[in-house]
Amino acid sequence: MGFPREDRHRRVFLRESLDDLKAQLRTLGSDLLEYEGEPVEVLLQLMQSTHASAVYCERIEAPEEIHQSQAIQERGILLKEFWQSSMLSLECLPFPVQDMPDMFTQFRKKVENAGFRFSAPVVAPSKIPSLPELAETPLIRAAEQANTSPYQFAGGERSALDHLKQYLARRLPDTYKETRNQLIGKDYSSKFSPWLALGCLSARTVAAELTAYEQSHGANDGTYWLWFELLWRDYFRFLHFKYGKQLYQVQGLSDAPVMRSNLQSFESWQAGATGEPLVDAGMRELLKTGYLSNRMRQVVASYWIYDLQGDWRLGAAWFESQLIDYDVYSNQGNWLYLAGRGTDPRGGRRFNIAKQTQDHDPQGEYQRLWL
């Protein structure tokens, strides 16, 4: 559709995160080298020049990543993949992941009844072996311009841990449930998602710190709801083990036909020029910052699907392009859920825009801010 899969906001965040990783690896006696090209070809060259016997990487249970892993193995590379991005490990689930409940509520109840909260974070190494000498010069991407996001998301693990520390120190978990649907500011929600999405922050670390917080200050609705949101994140991940490529089909898990999108409507929606003030404010915030509150994501997605009769996949692709915190599992899961093409038998979720405006921006402050 003429837009990049990864726009400037996430590129900046990625650049900062890689720079932070490089600096930390160097303090441990290692380094980070960046190469540009087709992964299979680059890995083959690296294995030949280093005489490596295997490639270790994160396991990602999504179609494109699975296809890429298969292509690597077909070239004779021993690939060792490790599942690591969920709060709960696959091994501790109270059911085989392929047989998990379709509905989130049933999934949550089974997890809670089994007494599971999170899997222990992995302890970071204190030293890493140095890299071998390489003949090739690493091809480093050019630095991006500074991020203009008013939320001041700085990429990297150290920024993530600083943010987590201050969030807990200021006792913000206590009010999370009451403030999470607000639209303006930084503290109404946790803002962990950019670092979680890129792997700068572990969901298990967040859950462990949240548990320690509850032990010091007491559990409440806010602390529970933060864990609840992390469990939703896990749910969308684990669904991929059950349904795989079906989640990426045109119709999702539904039999309902998909509407043919109107290009002019899509361009108006992208630009925040639909004429619906709350929706336009949200879409302009997304363009300007690469971020959008969970409430506004649902509002603008619902408007695209139901009011503009748009193809849900096109909306999902635009979110992929723009969001700093794009996560393949959560993005796909949320769009399927709203479009009524996921596992929820109740169908989609259409938002009444007038009611959302009255409930969440009655004085028009959010609309004035972005329009």
User: What tens digit of pLDDT does each residue of 98-114 get?
Assistant: 999 999 999 999 999 99
DSSP state of 91: G
Amino acid at 121: P
pLDDT, position 149:
56
Per-domain boundaries in the chain = 246-370
Of 78-82, 119-123, 213-217, 252-256, the poorest mean pLDDT is in 252-256
Q: How many CB atoms lie within 10 A of CB 140?
A: 12
d(CA 5, CA 76): 30
Answer yes or no: pTM beyond 0.85: yes
Q: Are 311 and 260 in contact (CB under 8 A)?
A: yes
Q: What is the mean pLDDT of residues 180-193?
A: 95
Q: For the domain bounded by 246-370, which CATH number is listed?
A: 1.10.579.10
Classify each residue of 192-201 as buried b or exposed e, where b means 16 or more C-beta atoms within 10 Å of its C-beta. Answer: bbbbbbbebb
pLDDT, position 316:
97
DSSP state of 28: T
In order, the DSSP letters of 290-307 are S---HHHHHHHHHIIIII
Q: Are 195 and 167 in contact (CB under 8 A)?
A: no
Q: Are 350 and 308 in contact (CB under 8 A)?
A: no
Q: Are 338 and 260 in contact (CB under 8 A)?
A: no
Over the stretch 209-260, which tens digit does the pLDDT of each residue have? 999 999 999 999 999 999 999 999 999 999 999 999 999 999 999 988 887 8
Amino acid at 48: Q
Which carries the bigger pLDDT value, residue 11 or residue 133? 11
Classify each residue of 83-97 as buried b or exposed e, where b means 16 or more C-beta atoms within 10 Å of its C-beta. Answer: ebbbbbeeeebeeeb
